Structure 1
Amino acid sequence: MDVQGIDQLAQRLASLVPPGLAQARQDLQANFKDVLAQGLRRLDLVTREEFDVQSQVLARTRDRLEQLEKRLADLEISAAHRGQ
């Protein structure tokens, strides 16, 4: 979640404070923003870019594994035919 997203969420939370508490609303919005940012940092999240890169690595690894499984199956068939 980016800074803009945190700001928007903090503003939405602060908007729930009754209008008569204008100063409290501003203080709460700042506190909401800090708490949200700290909470997200503790979650050890990855960026979308990092996720996409790892997804590509996984897809390449899966393709390579499938190739190797096929090659192994072919070798097993060859070995079985030679053994007969």
Structure 2
Amino acid sequence: MIDLSHIDDLARRLSSLVPPGLRGESSRELRDELQQNFKSVLQTGLGKLDLVTREEFEVQRAVLLRTREKLDELQRAVATLEAQLGAAPAAHPPSSAPHH
């Protein structure tokens, strides 16, 4: 979920960009309406994006790090086993003739 306070802040910033001629007391309602419109457009636009929360991102990052550590561990184990197999004498060399 997107933090609505950030959207409110951005909408306020956008409404502050209204030309100075529209900033008088009589146009306060216009600024408020513009701010609400900005907020609505921002929420709609951001809602269409495929975004994840920071928490979801951090969870997936932790899973990826654990997976990477496990992969490194498995690669070391395979390398060790390959080294042991390469150093061990072959008791029964593989036969190329099919067995019936």
- Is the structural similarity TM-score above 0.5? yes
Q: Which residue is equivalent to 2:8?
A: 7
The equivalent position to 1:24 in structure 2, one of 22, 30, 37, is 30
Q: Quote the sequence identity (%).
A: 51
State whether structure 2 residue 74 is matched by structure 1 residue 68: yes
Give the length in aligned residue pairs.
84
| Structure possessing the higher radius of gyration over alpha carbons | 2
Whichever structure has more helix as a proportion of its residues is: 1
Which ranges of structure 1 fall in alignment gaps of 5 or more residues?
A: none
TM-score normalised to structure 2 length: 0.77
Q: Offset at 1:61?
A: 0.2
Q: Offset at 1:22?
A: 2.9
Task: Using the TM superposition, name which of 61-70 and 18-27 deviates more.
Answer: 18-27
Code of the aligned partner of 1:43: L
CA–CA distance in structure 2, aligned partners of residues 83 and 44 of structure 1: 56
TM-score normalised to structure 1 length: 0.91
Q: Deviations over 1:42-78 (max 9, x none)?
A: 1121111101110110010000000000000001101
Specify which structure has the bigger relative contact order, considering alpha-carbon pairs within 8 angstroms and separated by 6 or more residues: 2
Please report the RMSD computed on the Cα atoms of aligned residues, expressed in angstroms.
1.4
